[in-house]
Amino acid sequence: MKNGLILIICCIVSSLISLKIYDHNRQERIIEEDKTNYSKLVSDKELLLSKDLKRLFTSSSPTNFISAASKSLPAVTSIRTITGSNGSESLIRQSNSTGSGVVVSPDGVIVTNNHVIEDYEEIIVMLDDKREYKAKVLGTDTNTDLAILKIEAEGLPFLVLGNSDSLRIGEWVLAIGNPFMLNSTVTAGIVSAKARNINILESRIGIESFIQTDAAVNPGNSGGALVNTNGELLGINTAILSTSGKYEGFSFAIPSNLVSKVVYDIRQYGAVQRGWLGITISNIDDQKAAALRLDEVKGILVDMVNANTAAADAGLRNADVIYGVNGVETNTTPEFLEQIARYRPGDEVELAFIRNSERMSTKAILRNQLNTTDFIAVRKDKVLVDLGFELRDMDSNEKTRMAKEGVIVVTIKESSKIDKTNMDPGYIITTINDKNVRNVDELLTELNKSAGRVYLEGYYENYPGKYPYTFYK
């Protein structure tokens, strides 16, 4: 009898050990298979993020951090900018360690915060193995505080962009970065909240829908990785909420699903292509919910629908309450803005809304800032910013209306080199140094070749004749 009991106990213990080993091996196999499947989607010049990519990942399940840390650390970089003389050789160039970055493709594409690299002259990236590279800026997006860099390297360790929508409140996450110049520092915490708006982006159309965590983040962590215990990138660490200037338990990261869209657009189109509905909105509070006879204090109130916009064509009206975009609940303004920010001009989205206590839905085809479905974005490349102007391509309506092609000057910075030429916004550049240009990319190619005197020729839509301008680069 006693021997039989011992045998039963041994069998039970053996079974539990076998199940544990099986579960561990299964988890490791799933991670490796997901990463293999993900990598197969990469082409030579295409980021690991295809617009057709279906999310392969769900919320993390391991409860230790060893595997996640070992996979993530090699892909997190240190970033420092070199600033200096603005042309004066008498001033010493200064270098400061400014932040972190995350490698997201094996050919050297790196994501960081825009505020980490702004006002740079030179950007130096140091990998986890201490190799250093000069980086070029592929593009920036001030509306999300993201910057995309590129270094000339191959076969780099990289982080897989996971599905930030799968994150749950209370889930373990790790923050990896370089606080206080301490390279490769890992801290742990939990997801405290999602879709947080803390009003830190200066842009009027800034998109804040942060993941809030209590993982320790300090100066130097900006641009670093927020990963789950599977080692998947769920966010880019961006900000802390503090009265002392140091970590006090509140840190914020840009969700990976928004990051992936920004990175893909910049690599594919040179700038972020952001869809617009053409409405002004506000959160629903208790008083508004009562006035609108809503069952819950949730949703986005449409304060105004602008005429001849995507929203107007879709039949939206003032006082409609939007509570979903393509099946995803949008109970707050940050949630709504994040969902719309994932789409481009020309994309169709289904909007669920309440009107007069009745639940309804409609479909809207998003447009750009010019109220067309063209892929148009204001270019703010460093060479343009240094000269003092922002440019964009002409859209299809403008090309038809003017029967010409060219590059439109959007803004001109006061007291800049361009401002001193007496050029005005709205100027349409058709040639640079006697070479025709049809878009911003062609202009940048010629501009980067130029040294010394640069000669522009073009016209203003409502004024006859050609207008030449000259400046020195």
Q: Which of 145, 320, 347, 395 is catalytic?
A: 145
Half-sphere exposure of 364 (CA within 13 A, CB side): 33
Alpha-carbon gap, residue 115 to 220, rounded angstroms: 11
| Residue 222: Cβ-neighbour burial (10 angstroms; 0-12, 13-18, 19+) | buried
State the CB neighbour count (10 A cutoff) for residue 190: 14
CA dihedral 398, 403, 406, 411 (to 10 degrees): -40
Residue by residue, DSSP assigns 32-63 as HHHHHHHHTT-BTTB-S--TTPPP--------
Alpha-carbon gap, residue 10 to 178, rounded angstroms: 49
Alpha-carbon gap, residue 463 to 473, rounded angstroms: 27
Per the annotation, the verdict on 424 as an active-site residue is no
Please provide residue 354's backbone torsions phi and psi, each rounded to the nearest 5 degrees: -115, 130
Residue 253's DSSP bridge partners are 211, 237
Q: Which of 115, 141, 164, 381 is catalytic?
A: 115
Q: Which of 72, 222, 251, 260 is catalytic?
A: 222
Per the annotation, the verdict on 145 as an active-site residue is yes
Task: Show the tokens assigned to 124.
Answer: 């130096």
Residue 415's DSSP bridge partners are none
Per the annotation, the verdict on 115 as an active-site residue is yes
Q: CB under 8 Å to 126, separation ≥6 — which residues?
A: 77, 78, 79, 80, 132, 183
State the CB neighbour count (10 A cutoff) for residue 149: 25
Single-letter amino acid, residue 444 = L
Buried b or exposed e, range 309-325, using 16+ CB within 10 angstroms: bbbbebebeebbbbbbb
State the CB neighbour count (10 A cutoff) for residue 449: 10
SS3 for 444? helix
Closest CA to 32 of 20, 24, 42: 24
Question: Which residues are known to be catalytic?
Answer: 115, 145, 222
